[in-house]
Structure 1
Amino acid sequence: MYDQYDALIFDMDGTILDTEPAHRKAWSQVLARYGMAFDESKMIAYNGSPTWRLAEVIIAENQFAMDPHQLAAEKNAAVKTLLLDDVRALPLVDVVKAWHGRRPMAVGTGSERAMAVALLDKLGILHHFSAIVGADDVSEHKPHPETFLRCAQLLSVAPEKCIVFEDADFGLQAARAAGMDVVDVRLL
């Protein structure tokens, strides 16, 4: 099915790992500490963005004075504990396993690299990927194509010979901007 591609690139959260419930729970816990709130349905629009970007929006909406990087760090610490206890693979992990050893594969995620490595290792699939590009590995985040272009570069594959698997609008835009074909996993 993907034979025409020289490499496969996967988003992580919501694509190969079911991490969204833990992310929502972590935000709820951290925001409660400060008496802040945020509509969970609005968070979906920021899927694929680095945590600090969503923290900026939450802080502004709550008219709160706080460094978004501090709030993001607190959320990341909370989610790490939750995820490492309860991470689950989504059905698309079967594609990862089926193509392991047949094509080089990478993960291009809006999560920090250390979190991605820990989660993929916890599920026993870290060794399936030749490259991992996290939010802290790039200066421009999705919908900018840098994440996926960096994956292709690390795999030594031309962008137009890559296919990306994504579940978020920002990620779909990033893959297309990189000149890559993309599968919207929400439609599978």
Structure 2
Amino acid sequence: MAADVAAALFDVDGTLVDTTYLHTLAWWQALAQYGHEVDAARVHRAIGMGSDQLLDHLLGDDRDRSEDDSVSAAHLALYAQHWPGLRAFPGAGDLLRECAGRGWRVVLSTSASGRELDVLRRVLDADDAVHATADADAVDAAKPAPDLVRSSLAQVSAAADRSVFVGDSVWDVRAANRAGTPCIGVETGGFAAAELRDAGALEVHPSVGRLLDGLDDSLLARPRTGGR
């Protein structure tokens, strides 16, 4: 039953794999290809949202949406050029294995899907620790909506308030909070610790490697055996 299961949910882009600034560049270039001049700093601050929400955020939700699919496809094509050089953050795979060993059901909770997700999983090289994966294809609304977090919990029949979400953006934190799941923030996506805490993160670490080093003192030390 859900009350007996706890999940450790992990965002992938910017949290486990060093991709945030590559996504920023790819979105900036894709938008420019379709005549949208958006400052790179604004693009960066939107990384972590689903593509529809990102375009709404950057271009306005009253825009002509007829080119949205083309812009998103251009982003993916530009981002794919960087796939051969992708790297997992130090300690990412070990953190997933350590969480699994401590009794958490590890779920990759990501807006990536298809070939992109396959690439990220190969880069992580930690499938032995991953119990399930939830991606944006399975939900109607991506982050910061709570749908992806809820889908991740459902994948392993886990209780929201006994589980933990780990992410790098304020959009991750807000999605987790809306789903009723405590969130740990990491600063590797470019959001400062104060911003992540202000969004609702209960603890913040410089990286997943540092989270691994301090795991015994974190929300991920052990799954809780009862209510909060």
TM norm structure 2 = 0.70
Match of 1:185 in 2: 186
Match of 1:23 in 2: 23
Q: Distance in 2 between matches of 1:77 and 1:50?
A: 17
Q: Which amino acid aligns with 1:96?
A: L
The secondary structure found in structure 2 opposite 1:18 is coil
Moved more, 47-56 or 152-161: 47-56
Q: Which amino acid aligns with 1:157?
A: A
Q: Which amino acid aligns with 2:140?
A: S
C-alpha distance after superposition, 1:23-79 (max 9, x if no partner): 123224434434432212112332221224323455559x88851111101211221
C-alpha distance after superposition, 1:91-149 (max 9, x if no partner): 45142132234421011122235422321123312342222111222102222211111
Give the RMSD, CA atoms, in angstroms: 2.5
Q: Distance in 1 between matches of 2:146 and 2:59?
A: 27
Q: Is the 8 A contact 2:30 2:72 kept in 1?
A: no
Structure 1 unaligned regions, length at least 5:
none
Match of 1:70 in 2: 70
Q: Is the 8 A contact 1:55 1:71 kept in 2?
A: no
Q: Distance in 2 between matches of 1:77 and 1:176?
A: 32
Distance 1:33 1:128, change over 3 A: same
Listed as ranges, the matches of 1:135-154 within 5 Å are: 135-154=136-155
Q: Is the 8 A contact 2:27 2:43 kept in 1?
A: no
TM norm structure 1 = 0.83
Shift of residue 165, structure 1, vs aligned partner? 0.4
Q: Is the 8 A contact 2:173 2:185 kept in 1?
A: yes
| Runs of 4+ with deviation above 6 angstroms | none
The secondary structure found in structure 1 opposite 2:164 is strand
Q: Is the 8 A contact 2:106 2:132 kept in 1?
A: yes
Match of 2:223 in 1: none
